[in-house]
Structure 1
Amino acid sequence: MQPVRWTLPLLASLLAVSTGSLAAASGPAVPADPVTTAWRDGALRTDPAGLVARSDLVQEGPAWRAYQAMPLGNGTLGAAVWAEKGYSAQLNRVDTFPELKSAGRLVVPGLDPLMRAADYTGRLALYDGQVVQRGGGMSAHSYVRADADQFVLEVTGADPGKEQTADLKLWDGRTPKAIATKTVAAQTVAALAETFHDQSSGSTTGAVAALTARARDVSAEVVDPLTVRLTFRPNADGSFRLVVGVPAYTGGDVGAAARQAVKGADEPRPDQRHTAWWHAFWAKAAPLRITSADGSGEYVENLRTLQLYTMAASMRSAVPSTHGAVVRMFSSAKDQADWAQDSFWHFNLRMLVSANLGAGIAEYNSPYFRFYLDRAALMKEWTRTHWVGARGTCVPEFLRYDGTADGCDNTTEPSWVKRILSTGPELVNNIWQQYRHTGDRALLERAYPLMRDIAEFHLSVLRPGADGYLHLEHVNALEVQWDTTDPTPDLAGMRVIFPIVADLADSHDDPALATRLRAAVTKLPPFRTVERGGEQVLAWSGTDEEARNTQNPELEALWPWGVFDETSELMQATYRQRVYPQDKDWGMDSTWAARLGQAGEVKRLLLKGIQDFQIFPNGFTVHRTGREAVRQQSFYNEWGGVLTTGLQEALVQSYDGVLHVAPAWPTDWDVAGSVQIEGEHRISTEVRNGVPSVVGIQAGSKDSLRVRNPWPGQQFRVVDQRTGQTVTAPTTDDVVTVAVAPNHSYVVERVAVPLSSFAFAPLTGEQADAVKTVGTRMLGVPKSEPPLKSDLVTVRTPDKLQNLVKAQTGAPIYVDRSYTVTDLPSQLAGHALIPGANNDSKNTSPTYLTFDVSRPATVYVAFDPRGEGVWWPEWLSSFTRTGETVGTTDQRLLLFKREVPAGPVQLGANSGVEDKGNSTYITFVTPR
């Protein structure tokens, strides 16, 4: 067995940027020529606007489907914007517990001409934090103000004489208070407000969504209990502004809350402070520009940029925005979401923390730390009453927003998250890493009591064995093994955090705790090994319970704990023989590969993950393979953290106390960028064909950095760029120690190819102008057939079937599947197709589908032949079998028809037998 490295792990993927300002942003992109560099005068000189715009999500056509929605947010209020019904924006707050129900959906039918225009263009403009759409002489800018909980839609080019409407609506099952009023300032407001009471905690949350317009002749009305409406005319110049204020609301005067919600909505230029905030964010965030012959590097770069955008847009509240990896703030799926939206799984948050540290945006970890620190007393009390024989605090893997710590309980049987104990040590390590990366002493001081109590808990549950070691018994190895002994993640975690907390205890006048912790480290058992695939590898734990989930507990020793490195043959074998190679979007395989120096694996795994998980055109993912975007209700964002951490670890590592540059960077991806490491140091480099050109260090503290030679076997030196002095004389040593001073910059250069031999070429880029693809995945929205506009038929219910489709080959037949028409009778071609919802295949409601026809028509229904004599509904007997069929990529369907007069038409559901039904029927309407 390889010896454990005893160096404190310095969370290696961490990178931060030196985005020195550019006087001009029009410089050329960095060419492949190895004699250029963007490093000048102690910083990597970049054009943030150009670099970020490379990753804009281009809409070659409107996002007609909800799963194509573009995300906007200010960290507390989020929005999803798409083109359904002309223009739709679903609004979601991060704190409407327990179910995180949406605050409502804004619908503006008058923007339909813009969306259908032949010259339509659109994009999620990341640098400005806006969705920008143009077409037919109109424009629409959408954003969630960075400085207020307000969603803003700015429109130009509208017909000044044409009346417009804007609806704010909720869905069946909701019970809002609805108002339409004119404020004392003569501002017309329509609002929906609702509170949510949680029985178990007694808490009340909620939101008010208040809609106002900067336009002419504005009036408001309550349309129905779930809908309010503004009616208005654009200003004389064709412009108008809609603002929806969405503050938290826990009850009381709705009118007063609504007035406060839209305060400042009539400011002349609310976009100026908004864009200034976003520009400042991008100036600080670490740049990373990747180029490759096949475009795969650029695609990966774009996903990382989107991850940084997502963090800035979603992580500025008192709690994290991610629940079980679902980022509900950007939902376009009404009130539906996967998993428990009132709770947080730590396992789905950790990759976001590490990604933010490395990207130089550590402040967006604040919600993560606040969440646990604010509930420290609750967790401690829960531990006292639910973990018999323990002291201190157990941090649960699964923690509800009210502090209910169900996972920490030894009085009931173990299960998925019950008795996972490695979460607390991870929290301790992340607090320590946040301090190391930012110098945030206030966080460390506030967190010390919790860090101490977590260490105290682990000391109290360790039991001495006959072998002389201290053991953890009857605990879980993540979700994989239940009721096991000495899980590898726990042993690794205690090896790392006990010395950290011991040092802190000394500084807080608690030498007794420090002594106990240091003594316990020496008595922790060695990692167990087993044979797998003919090789000796780390075991999941000290025992052999069956697997329950597809995690790899043994590789936790490599990341996040860093107690092994690339020189360990045991760890290399453990990686090769891991049981579950990246089958979920939480898998940190690319980071493990980076720490083991496997550049080819890093690239392969990142591209595999994109293919497996990134099914949405907005860059969000699902958490397992084999899913279709049209069938999913939730946007997942943990893969963005996985990808970002893996990339940053591949470019710069320092977890083992040595600065490694490009230790696992794929040779066919050229890169230029910056990374933040412990000590508040920013590391910049440019790598071509796998070889760094120069390495820049911007020191954030007084430190001694151990630096590995980026060019093994070649002479290199280190120069202080402020003084011009050589601080490390030319050497071929493998590792040198460099004394650095805060606010000084240093260049690590090859003696044979010094910095002075490189021509200066600032790091910039061009705005994305097309949808990007890699394999079958895409970023951006391609042009597609718009919903059919019909003067013959209008669907009333259900709402999800209201978008008509033009009947033709390739047309979608369901709103929740990707099946399409392959052939159809000629009399149906070009007419209205009402798609079905295949999730309703077993629905037996007698009044399922209601639509109006404006004149006499023929209604056709196409049914699954497998239901004949089995589950076909009784109402189908009023139709006549035509003897024709409709071909689809799912099932050939039998066609029936019925003549109807002008007026309402009502059809039943797909099945006439409870719990029976196969593919759902689809409906065609043609004029007579």
Structure 2
Amino acid sequence: MPVGRWTLPILITLLATSAGSVAAAGPIPQTEPSPTTAWHDGALRTGPAGLVGRSDLVQEGPAWRAYQAMPLGNGVLGAAVWAEKGFSAQLNRVDTFPDLESAGRLVVPGLDPLMRAADYKGRLALYDGQLVQSGGGMSARSYVRADADQFVLEVTGADPGKTQTADLKLWPGRTPTTSAAGAVAALAETFKDDASGGVAGAVAAVTARARDVSASVVDPLTVRLTFRPNRDGSFRLVVGVPSYKGGDVKTAARHAVVEAHSNHLAWWHDFWAKAAPMRITSADGTGEYVENLRTLQLYTMAASMRGPVPSTHGAVVRMFSSSQDQADWDQDAYWHFNLRMLVSANLGADIGDLNAPYFDFYLDQAAAMKEWTSTHWTGARGICVPEFLRYDGTADGCDNTSEPNYTTRILSSGAELVNNIWQQYRYTGDRALLNRSYPLMREVADFYLSALTPGEDGYLHLEHVNALEVQWDTNDPTPDLAGMRVIFPIVADLASARGDDAFAGQLREAVGKLPPFRTVQRGGEEVLAWSGTDEEAHNTQNPEMEALWPWGLFDETSALMQATFRQRVYPQDKDWGMDATWAARLGQSDEVKRLLLKGIADFQIYPNGFTVHRPGQEAVRNHSFYNEWGGVVTTGLQEALVQSYDGVVDVAPAWPSDWDVSGAVQIEGGHRISTEVKDGVPNLVGIEAGSKDTLRVRNPWPGQQVRVIDEHGRAVVAPTTADVLTVPVAAHASYVVERVAVPLSSFRFVPLTGAPANAVKTVGNRMLGVPASEPPLASDLVSVRTPEKLSNLVKAQTGAPIYVDRSYTITDLPAQLAGQALVPGANDDSKSTGPVDYITLELSQPATVYVAFDPRGEGDWWPEWLSSFTRTGETVGTTDQRLILFKRDVPAGQLALGANSGIVDKGNSTYLTFVTSR
């Protein structure tokens, strides 16, 4: 029901006069402002466009660097968009296995005037799933269609008489088939997986809705469209990127760019209307920042998790890559540990349908996993779910026939998968998924039964297995003991319901024979142990904390768990750390805030909100966008606002007191719990029931008299001061938990909305959005033909970056170089001894070329080609190293410069190149 259907006076009148309504409390003194609520007509009412717009990524200046790229996607096709060469968009599919190679990069030079305009404005508009940019009388709107594998760029304000080009290009090492036919240009490539024999690939085909469109092949890696804008200055580029496994490229390309009616905006608006809202405000701006990260995570899930397989590989979301084909970890495989926080975050945000790729992937590989288990785990029955599982079902895990390593003997991934299936059913009511999954759930439980060994102490033990990646050959890992305690009863009940009483009996008997959790002394306190033994650590996870989340076997009342949290060995040193969720479950609101802000400082190095794996990294040096921290943030915020894992709905159990919040969280049963918290105190608690149920709700105002009314104002729970309320709910009905002294009728209705962001957001030295920066230098004198990574010229001046892969800058330089063209170096090539044409310059007129070399190489690794230059006696100061300057006068034409080093495996900082006219 839309906001405003009832006016406030009518609402108050109805609440006051409905049959069976409870008596209202005394009026609030008129001298005090009326408290407000967004709860109206049975729901927390929002204006999604304004609320979501608060988290838009504002570009105060263009994203000149690839690491600043903005993500667009439809769950199968992703794009990273930035301003290099005027306009660049790298296109990536979720399924080009085994290495997830990009389909190519779209480059539109004619948008350079827009990007360089003094009045440039840009934003990633999350509500619309679009990147919108304007400047110099031009506008550009780009998006990946929500309903088709097509990237679209719509431009207005272009010069109708000026010819434009649009290139699709790949890079050295790729071997595409090129095609140019009429108004369609295309690249196509297939990839054969030697391990599985599978073939995958993609076509990238571009056409233009413009005048005089023609396609051509530029070189083996590049195709081009040439066209003129329409007479009104508009043009539209459509790049279709379908899956491709071979065949006629021209036909595939022609089909790829056919456009049907677009439901793009409708899809995104429907998505945001369904997602559970959350607005956070604070005096220091940190609340708004974490709200933005949560909204960005929901956006990322909608833009990346709608395909046949998950989009995250080792936490890298390859669909949004802007770094050609470079990526961390194995892009053909999945680590379960890096997916689990995405599943939990989606459930709490009521976007659980986006977990489908996760479930489909494991269910589709059930037969392969069973075969793997039978051949790689001696004595096993059932299915062991490998922690590391390749897209084709082969694994590096669940293997006791080889030496233990990081993943070979992790068993708890299977227990988590079973629990996630069960939670998905409980949150969404998806019985079809549960029925489809039961055979797998049974097989996982049976594997555990087969792996347990009776001990002389009367307990059943797991022996020679992993405690996550921390301990490689231990007994009774805490994650597995906790997992079996949770999933055995679940699977037993499902088995009984299917008439499999014998198996159910085995599971119930086994639960009673699992050993107790081992404890040890750490930091002078008794704490949970990682496992039953004390093997050394190989990674920095905290296996003992798994008993709290995901398994929920302890709560804030456990002194043992509180001590275990205080004494955990590896407090949040990787972006996978669920420390904020653990703090929330332990009721530690200050720690929730501290840990989230610490994680932002440690991991969130990219202005698009993506992160890196560990602290101390620089955006310019990394090649991968990680998104598991977004799942960590989202899960932590949702658990801090509403918890229900222990069977009691607890509102704001760990919400930081200096973050005010209005929001909702989905819980088991499909119920949405809403509240608004100011200064640490909720105003009301709304319940939108997803099913017939009886909820146990903790009194949000301990000791105060509360009651529960339904959507008609009728009493469901009479006034009480009980600590826990028992609330019967009917499916699709709504209820309010209110204080008797401050009833719903005393609140003034104000919908939950906001205004789109208008500036870059910052917390410390981290930011969301792109600040204005110096554009690449446009030079009539020099251009870089090769390599492409060095082709963006820099204006030589104090503060200018000197490398494309480091953050060092110029501190001082000779006067004749100020304002001149600088060809930055690539410090990753500091030991390069490659060809003499490492850099090829194109000079339009005679010039003086300067090179600045690291003095540590003199008499050692300086290359032979440097002898053709003359030492000037001057130096260039940088934040890295003071460099010695050489020069050489050269004629117009091409000039080749060699690699940095003349000695194999030697070299320090890479040289810089300056060009001046003469």
| TM-score range relative to shorter protein | over 0.9
* SS at structure 2 position matched to 1:904: strand
**Aligned pair 1:814/2:795, yes or no?**
no
Which stretch of the first structure deviates more once superposed, 304-313 or 401-410?
A: 401-410
Is 1:871 matched with 2:852? no
Name the structure 2 match of 1:627. 617
Residue of structure 2 aligned with 1:769, choices 748, 758, 762: 758
1:154-553 alignment, distance < 5 Å: 154-182=154-182, 188-264=183-259, 270=262, 273-553=263-543
In 2, Cα distance between the equivalents of 1:851 and 1:189?
Answer: 32
CA gap of 1:304–1:900, structure 2 versus 1, over 3 A, is: same
Q: Deviations over 1:81-105 (max 9, x none)?
A: 0000000000000000000000000
What's the C-alpha RMSD, in Å, of the aligned pairs? 1.2
Aligned to 1:10: none
TM-fit CA distance, 1:406: 2.2
Deviations 1:33-86 (A, max 9, x none): 671000011100100000000000000000000000000000000000000000
* Structure 1 equivalent of residue 27 of structure 2: none
Are the equivalent residues in 2 in contact too, given 1:25–1:47 (CA < 8 A)?
no
SS of structure 1 residue aligned to 2:620: helix
Q: Structure 1, residues 321-376: CA drift from partner, whole Å, max 9, x if none?
A: 00000000000000100000000000000000000000000000000000000000
Q: Is the 8 A contact 1:541 1:554 kept in 2?
A: yes
Q: Quote the Cα distance in structure 1 between the aligned partners of 2:256 and 2:387.
A: 36
Structure with greater contact order relative to length (CA < 8 Å, sep ≥ 6): 1
Deviations 1:566-613 (A, max 9, x none): 100000000000000000000000000000000000000000000000
Within 5 A, what are the aligned runs for 1:549-560?
A: 549-560=539-550
Write the letter of the residue equivalent to 1:781: V
C-alpha distance in 2 between matches for 1:497 and 1:767: 44
Check conservation: 2:34, 2:746, Cα contact below 8 A.
no
Note if 1:46 corresponds to 2:27: no
- What is the identity, as a one-letter code, of the residue corresponding to 2:411? L
Question: How far off is 1:23 after superposition?
Answer: 4.8
Does 1:667 find its partner at 2:648? no
Contact 1:34–1:693 (8 Å) recurs in 2: no
Structure 1 residue 176 displacement after superposition: 0.7
- Report if aligned partners of 1:192, 1:209 keep a CA contact under 8 Å in 2: yes
What is the SS of the residue equivalent to 1:448? helix
SS in 2 for 1:727: strand
Match of 1:788 in 2: 777
Distance in 2 separating the partners of 1:714 and 1:148: 54
In structure 1, what is the equivalent of residue 794 of structure 2? 805
3-state SS of the aligned residue for 2:195? coil
Q: For residues 725 and 561 of structure 2, what CA distance do their matches in structure 1 show?
A: 26
Partner of 1:572: helix, strand, or coil?
helix
Normalised by the length of structure 2, the TM-score is: 0.97
1:490-516 superposed Cα distances (whole Å, 9 cap, x missing partner): 000000000000000011111111000
For the pair 1:22 / 2:11, whether they are aligned, the reply is no
Note if contact 2:164-2:227 (Cα within 8 Å) is conserved in structure 1.
yes
Contact 2:832 2:899 (C-alpha < 8 Å) held by counterparts: yes
Provide the residue aligned with 1:185 in structure 2: none
Contact 2:671 2:688 in 1 (8 A): yes
Instruction: Give the count of matched residue pairs.
Output: 894
Secondary structure in 1 matching 2:331: coil
What amino acid maps onto 2:750 in structure 1?
A
CA offsets per residue over residues 641-693 of structure 1, 9 Å max, x none? 00000000000000000000000000000000111000010100000000000
- Unpaired runs of 5+ residues, structure 2, are 9-31
1:681 is matched by which residue type in structure 2? H
**TM-score (norm: length of structure 1):** 0.96
Residue 199 of structure 1 and its aligned partner are, at CA, apart by 0.8
Please report how far the alpha carbon of residue 384 of structure 1 lies from its aligned counterpart in structure 2 after TM superposition. 0.8
Is residue 726 of structure 1 aligned with residue 715 of structure 2? yes
SS at match of 1:85: coil
Percentage of pairs with the same residue: 80
| 1:808-846 alpha-carbon deviations (Å, 9 max, x no partner) | 000000000000000000000011000000000000122
Q: Check 1:560–1:189 CA distance in 2 against 1; reply closer, same or farther (3 A cut).
A: same
State the Cα deviation string for residues 423-466 of structure 1 (Å, max 9, x = none): 00000000000000000000000000000000000000000000
Instruction: Say yes or no: does 1:759 pair with 2:754.
Output: no
Q: CA deviation at 1:852?
A: 1.0
Are positions 1:66 and 2:66 aligned together?
yes
Match of 2:553 in 1: 563
2:674 to 656, 660, 684: 684
Structure 1 residues not aligned, in runs of 5+? 1-19, 183-187
Which string of whole-angstrom CA distances, capped at 9 and with x for unpartnered residues, describes residues 857-882 of structure 1? Answer: 00000000000011000000110000
For the Cα contact (< 8 Å) 1:395–1:405, is it kept in 2? no
User: Match of 2:669, as an amino acid?
Assistant: G
2-structure distance, mates of 1:732, 1:86:
65
The reply on whether 1:825 has 2:821 as its aligned counterpart is: no
CA distance in 2, matches of 1:25, 1:400: 54
Deviations 1:200-238 (A, max 9, x none): 101000000011000000010010111000000000000
Q: Deviations over 1:774-825 (max 9, x none)?
A: 0100000000000000000010111100000000000000000000000000
- 1:693 corresponds in structure 2 to 683
> CA deviation digits over 1:381-427, x for unaligned, max 9?
11111111000000000000000022011100110011100000000
Q: Does 1:151 align with 2:151?
A: yes
Give the letter for the 1:609 counterpart.
G
Selected match of 2:898 from 886, 892, 908: 908
Which residue of structure 2 aligns with residue 109 of structure 1?
109
Q: Name the SS for the 2:184 alignment partner.
A: strand
Contact 2:648 2:697 (C-alpha < 8 Å) held by counterparts: yes
Secondary structure of 1:449's partner? Answer: helix
Q: Is the 8 A contact 1:910 1:920 kept in 2?
A: yes
User: Which deviates further from its counterpart, 316-325 or 733-742?
Assistant: 733-742
SS at match of 1:78: strand
Q: What CA distance in whole angstroms lies between the structure 2 residues aligned with 1:25 and 1:727?
A: 23
Contact conserved, 1:686 with 1:693, CA < 8 A, in 2?
yes
For the 8 Å contact 1:25–1:764, the answer to whether it is kept is no
User: Which residue identity does 1:577 align to in structure 2?
Assistant: Q
> Do the aligned residues in 2 keep the contact of 1:528 with 1:538 (CA within 8 Å)?
yes
Please give the alpha-carbon distance, in whole angstroms, between the structure 2 residues aligned to 1:652 and 1:95.
Answer: 36
Mapped partners of 2:811, 2:850: distance in 1: 17
Contact 1:814–1:836 (Cα < 8 Å) also in 2: yes
- Asked whether the equivalents of residues 583 and 624 of structure 1 are also in contact (C-alpha less than 8 Å), the reply is yes
The answer for the alignment partner of 2:15 in structure 1 is none
Q: What is the rounded CA distance, in whole Å, between the counterparts of 2:96 and 2:842 in structure 1?
A: 37
Q: Secondary structure at the match of 2:635?
A: helix
Q: Distance in 1 between matches of 2:272 and 2:550?
A: 27
- Equivalent residue number for residue 608 of structure 1: 598
Partner-residue secondary structure (3-state), 1:767 = coil
1:256, distance to aligned residue in structure 2 (A): 1.3
| Whole-Å separation in 2 of the counterparts to 1:204 and 1:743 | 47
- 2:728 alignment counterpart: 739
- The amino acid that maps onto 1:381 is E
Partners of 1:630 and 1:25 in 2: how far apart?
Answer: 53
